[in-house]
Amino acid sequence: MKEIINRRSIRQFKNKEVSNEVIETLLHAAMQAPSANNEQPWEFIVVKKRDLLEKISEIHPFAKMTSQASVAIIVCGDLNKEISKGRWVQDCSAATENLLLEVVHQGLGAVWVGVYPRKEREEEIRKLFNLPENIIPLCIVPIGYPNEEKDYENRFKKERIHYDRW
């Protein structure tokens, strides 16, 4: 529960590099996500080049923080790996959540920046990273050492729990 409770959307980062070893650990966590029919339709683009991080911040209206991040991971779905049509979104979302929880465990900060299903955002990312047609960018996760603190917010609402019926 510690990582779940402490996960926050972090949008300000220190000028400190995230090591390749930590990045690989984050990706290992992402790939341990559940997947419909175990198809694992995810693909990941690790972006460390400063010019590309800057370009993401320019082309996506809600990704300005990417210019400060040490790294960004773009989570994509591969339609050619689909067995259960349309389930790539759920599978890649589960992978993204695993990634975000491991970010907290590693003492880092991150934020989930949606791309899919906004066609204009998909196309911009597709062009920038030369994605083939079968690869759909779901989201961008800018990651770094946090340069901000956010308080705990209790989101548990008992009134939203229904037993056996509505």
- Tens of pLDDT along 123-157? 999 999 999 999 999 999 999 999 999 888 899 99
Q: Spell out the domains of the chain, with CATH numbers in brackets.
A: 2-146 (3.40.109.10)
- Give the pTM: 0.96
Q: Which residue from 118, 100, 135, 10 is spatially nearest to 59, judged by alpha carbons?
A: 118
Q: How many CB atoms lie within 10 A of CB 19?
A: 11
Say if residue 15's pLDDT is above 90: yes
